[in-house]
């Protein structure tokens, strides 16, 4: 039996097998190829021997497979000719379970990240399932619940709303139904904005740059000799940290599963009081900074009046009135002598 030319041409467009690094992509192509020509026994783990009626087709498949191997891989199946025997040998070679492979495969599975919008939700789910299949091929059982857990753990925050819906269901959904719910739900218009709070020393530096005057080296907020921390977050009696903008959970209440824009948790009175205390503290600090800024301005004006005058291309020191009076008395004393 011959292989249809369209099937051969389709396989020829795929990447050749280089080794362990692209085995799973190559395997997927071979599985589809064999299914397309009704030769599923080639990739079946249940096959122990090729039926006599399929030997001719199996040999033809083996010939095609040999053309899709890089030179270094050809040595692995040097004495193999049939498609089933060749495929089984390659799979045993590149899916053999070792400690290094198991650790790498588990890490890749659990840390499978969702790079949205570059990677669609469907692509992310397929990637997680492929990583699970790597472990399965090593003889490690991966339950559907574990696959779903990894999907929900690593899904992009744009899908946190539907994730919360799934997590709050009274009955745990199956993998198939959960995937159906996820893929049928739209993503939120969610932008990550990295906020950075400026401390007072940076603000003073900016003011100094705008006014053209030098900044005092000790111009920074103080409280009892200690630098004040302008960022803050507070933990409630249940262990949730409120107002933590660096958290991967809600930046308002600290609970997982949603973002601050959709937060519906009531803020505890104790947290409200701490925030108000912080506001008053920052107001007092701002007043102190204004006073320090005024001192810097006064020192700058004095410096401009009696200190260094800036003239294009040169700088000269101008003596203060006290210095000039001292020099005059010295000159008069010289003249008397």
The model's pLDDT over 175-231, given as tens digits with 9 standing for 90+, comes to: 999 999 999 988 776 544 333 334 444 445 555 554 555 544 444 444 444 443 434
Does residue 45 share a domain with residue 14? Answer: yes
225 falls within a domain? yes
Does residue 36 share a domain with residue 82? Answer: yes
Which residues touch 315 (CB under 8 Å, ≥6 apart)? 308, 309
Of 101, 30, 36, give the one whose Cα is nearest residue 69.
Answer: 30
Does residue 219 share a domain with residue 162? Answer: no
Domain that holds residue 286: 200-305
Does residue 117 share a domain with residue 32? Answer: no
323 falls within a domain? no
Each residue's pLDDT tens digit, 226-248 = 443 434 567 777 777 888 877 78
Does residue 207 share a domain with residue 299? Answer: yes
189 falls within a domain? no
Task: Please give the DSSP secondary-structure letter assigned to residue 69.
Answer: B
Burial 255-272 (b: 16+ CB within 10 A, else e): bebbbeeeeeeeebeebe
Residues in the chain where the model's pLDDT stays below 70? 1, 189-233, 277-337
Of 92, 88, 127, 86, give the one whose Cα is nearest residue 110.
Answer: 127
326 falls within a domain? no
Does residue 115 share a domain with residue 80? Answer: no
pLDDT of residue 337: 52
Q: Which of 94, 126, 146 is the last residue of a domain?
A: 94
318 falls within a domain? no
195 falls within a domain? no
322 falls within a domain? no
Burial 138-149 (b: 16+ CB within 10 A, else e): beeebeeeebbe
pLDDT of residue 222: 43
Does residue 220 share a domain with residue 300? Answer: yes
Q: Which of 55, 74, 94 is the last residue of a domain?
A: 94
Does residue 179 share a domain with residue 204? Answer: no
**Contact call for residues 139 and 97 (beta carbons, < 8 A):** yes
Of 181, 102, 186, give the one whose Cα is nearest residue 136.
Answer: 102
Burial 66-103 (b: 16+ CB within 10 A, else e): eebbeeebeebbeebebbbbbbbebbeebbeeeeebee
pLDDT of residue 301: 66
Does residue 253 share a domain with residue 158? Answer: no
262 falls within a domain? yes
Q: Which of 130, 155, 183 is the last residue of a domain?
A: 183
Does residue 175 share a domain with residue 207? Answer: no
Does residue 223 share a domain with residue 157? Answer: no
- Number of domains making up the chain: 3
First-to-last C-alpha distance (Å) of the chain: 129
**Contact call for residues 232 and 252 (beta carbons, < 8 A):** no
pLDDT of residue 238: 75
Cis-peptide, bond into residue 117, ω within 30° of zero? yes
pTM attached to this predicted model: 0.46
Does residue 69 share a domain with residue 117? Answer: no
């Amino acid at each position: 039996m011959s292989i249809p030319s369209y099937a051969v041409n389709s396989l020829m467009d795929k990447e050749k097998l280089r080794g362990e690094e692209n085995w799973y992509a190559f395997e997927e192509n071979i599985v589809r190829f064999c299914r397309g020509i009704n030769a599923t026994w080639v990739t079946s783990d249940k096959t122990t021997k090729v039926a006599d009626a399929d030997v001719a087709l199996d040999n033809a498949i083996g010939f095609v497979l040999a053309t899709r191997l890089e030179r270094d891989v050809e040595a692995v199946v040097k004495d193999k000719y049939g498609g089933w025997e060749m495929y089984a040998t390659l799979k045993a070679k590149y899916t053999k379970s070792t400690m290094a492979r198991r650790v790498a495969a588990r890490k890749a599975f659990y840390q499978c990240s969702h790079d949205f919008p570059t990677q669609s939700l469907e692509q992310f789910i397929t990637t997680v399932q492929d990583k699970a299949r790597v472990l399965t091929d090593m003889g490690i059982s991966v339950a559907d619940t574990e696959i779903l857990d990894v999907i929900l753990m690593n899904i992009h925050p744009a899908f946190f709303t539907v994730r919360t819906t799934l997590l709050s269901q009274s009955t745990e959904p199956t993998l198939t139904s959960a995937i159906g719910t996820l893929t049928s739900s739209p993503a939120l218009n969610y932008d990550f904005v990295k906020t950075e709070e400026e401390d007072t020393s940076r603000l003073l530096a900016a003011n100094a740059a705008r006014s053209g005057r030098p900044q005092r080296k000790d111009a920074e907020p103080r409280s009892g000799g200690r630098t004040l921390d302008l960022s803050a977050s507070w933990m409630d009696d249940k262990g949730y940290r409120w107002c933590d903008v660096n958290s991967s959970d809600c930046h308002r209440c600290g609970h997982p599963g949603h973002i601050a824009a959709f937060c519906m948790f009531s803020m505890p009175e104790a947290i409200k009081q701490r925030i108000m205390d912080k506001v008053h503290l920052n107001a007092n600090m701002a007043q102190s900074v204004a006073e320090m800024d005024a001192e810097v301005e006064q020192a700058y004006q004095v410096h401009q009046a009696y200190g260094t005058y800036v003239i294009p291309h040169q700088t000269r020191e101008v003596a203060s009135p006290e210095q000039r009076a001292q020099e005059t008395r010295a000159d008069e004393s010289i003249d008397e002598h």
